[in-house]
Amino acid sequence: MIHPSAVVSPEANLGANVEIGPFCVINANVTLGDRCKLHSHVVINGYSTIGEENEFYPFTAIGQRSQDLKYDGEPTSVIIGDRNIFRENVTVHRGTGEAPSVIGSDNNFLAYAHVAHDSVVGNHCILSNGATLGGHVHIADHVIISGLSGVHQFCRIGAHAIIGGCTKIVQDVPPFMIADGHPAALRGLNLVGLQRRGFTSEAIRALKTTYKALFLKKEGNLTAQALAFATNPATESEEVQHLLTFLSSTERGIVR
């Protein structure tokens, strides 16, 4: 189902039951999976591989050239999973080198959200209106980034974290936490999110213990504190182990 006003390259690979609305442009080297729907004025460019049942609202632009000034026009790519929603004016740029920009499945990108080059977004995430990811940002699963928040290049947001509105992220945000402010600071565990996603009371209790031990003082060497905390019984929790692994692998430092 392709509207007569749409421009679709004969070299594009379209799956079954794809809907392409008025004034859309699909360039060569684009793969659209089954049952994708493009409402109108959607542009998909570059080496973009898109899975099934994705929905693109007007003026979405996918796979455009990186804004990185080091990019020199080499062929680069975007890989997108299944069942994502891209609302009006969302932009997703392709990578700058061998690594693609990657988006998982079941994400919701609200109007004007931006995913920059070489970024990775997991599954079941929400980027609210105007949320912006710089280049090489990594977003884990079940993350919520509220409206008008910005994430600096090379930062990571851990799984099940939530970022408040108008927040400035310049360091890694640990999993399971709430970060808010300009610049960001931790405000506590994402208790509501954890409860909604079925985390056990034991797991939440262990994360509370860890949060109090490592983050309430907001001073001292966090890596050393995390190593010292390793003897605490709370570290037997799978969730706490995940948190400690995240802390030990930081390169930009941790929001506290």
Q: Which of 63-77, 121-135, 137-151, 181-195 has the lowest mean pLDDT?
A: 63-77
Q: Which two tokens stand for residue 131?
A: 């949320």
Distance between CA atoms of 89 and 60, rounded to whole angstroms? 5
Task: Identify the pLDDT of residue 198.
Answer: 97
Please say if the pLDDT value at position 230 is more than 90: no
Please say if the pLDDT value at position 219 is more than 90: no
Going through 69-217 in order, the beta strands assigned E by DSSP cover: 77-80, 85-86, 91-93, 101-103, 108-109, 114-115, 120-121, 126-127, 132-133, 138-139, 144-145, 150-151, 156-157, 162-163, 168-169, 177-181, 184-189
Task: Identify the pLDDT of residue 73.
Answer: 87
Please say if the pLDDT value at position 148 is more than 90: yes
Task: Identify the pLDDT of residue 21.
Answer: 98
Please say if the pLDDT value at position 70 is more than 90: no
The three-class DSSP label of residue 184 is strand
For 106-145, what is each residue's pLDDT tens digit? Answer: 999 999 999 999 999 999 999 999 999 999 999 999 999 9
**Burial call 98-109: b when 16+ CB within 10 Å, e when fewer:** eebbbbbbbbbb
- Say if domain 7-139 classifies as CATH 2.160.10.10: yes
DSSP 8-state code for residue 235: G
Residue ranges of the chain assigned to CATH 2.160.10.10:
7-139
Angle at 86 between CA 80 and CA 169, to 5 degrees: 85
Task: Identify the pLDDT of residue 56.
Answer: 99
- The whole-number average pLDDT for the span 71-93 is 96
- The whole-number average pLDDT for the span 228-254 is 93
pTM: 0.96
Task: Of 143, 140, 145, 152, give the one whose Cα is nearest residue 130.
Answer: 145
Give catalytic residues, as residue numbers. Answer: 117-118, 135
